[in-house]
Amino acid sequence: MDLSSFFDKVTFKDSPSRLVNLSIAFAIVILLILMIVGFSSGFEGLYDPTQSVTMYHRTDCNACRSVMPEWAVFVENMKTDGNIFTRTVDCSNPANLGECANITRVPTVIKRQTSGRQHTFKGSHTVAGYYNFATTEY
C-alpha cells in the first residue's frame, strides 16, 4: 500500500465528527502521557509524604477559631517541605464525620508517619509549636 492510497482512504470530508472524535482522543492520550511523566518525576512528595500533620477543628469552636491563624501560617510555611503534608479537617462538616469519629476534643493536631506511628500534639498552638511538633522524630 503506498502512502497516497492511504491518504485517499483517510479523509474527513464526509465525517467532521470523526475528526472531532480523533482530536479529543489525541488530546486525552497527550494528557495521560503528561500526567504519567509528571507523577513519576516529582509529585511523589505530595501524595506519599513521610508524614502528615492534620488539624481537626470545628467552625463553631472559639478555641479553634483562636488557633486557626497560627495554623494557617504554619501550613503556608510547610508547603516548601516535601516530606510533611498538612491537612485541615472541619469536624462540623457532616462529610468529615467518619474521619472525626475518634476525635474527642478540638482543636486536635495529629502527626501520622508512613511507619504507622501516630502522635497527638500537646504543645503551644503557635507556628513554632506546630513546626517543632512536625519536625521532631518520635
User: Does 80 or 12 have the greater pLDDT score?
Assistant: 80
Work out the pLDDT band at 9, boundaries 50, 70, 90: low
Q: Which long-range contacts (CB under 8 A, 24 or more apart) does 122-128 make?
A: 125/66, 125/67, 125/70, 125/71, 126/70, 127/70, 127/73, 127/74, 127/77
pLDDT of res. 46: 43
Per-residue pLDDT averaged across 30-45, rounded?
Answer: 60
Mean pLDDT of the chain: 80
Per-residue pLDDT averaged across 127-131, rounded?
Answer: 93
Please say if the pLDDT value at position 110 is more than 90.
yes
When mean pLDDT is compared over 2-6, 48-52, 76-80, the highest value belongs to: 76-80
Separation between Cα atoms, residue 63 and residue 58, nearest integer Å: 9
The ranges assigned to domains in the chain are 13-41, 48-135
Residue type, 120: T
For domain 48-135, the CATH architecture is: 3-Layer(aba) Sandwich (3.40)
Per-residue pLDDT averaged across 52-61, rounded?
Answer: 94
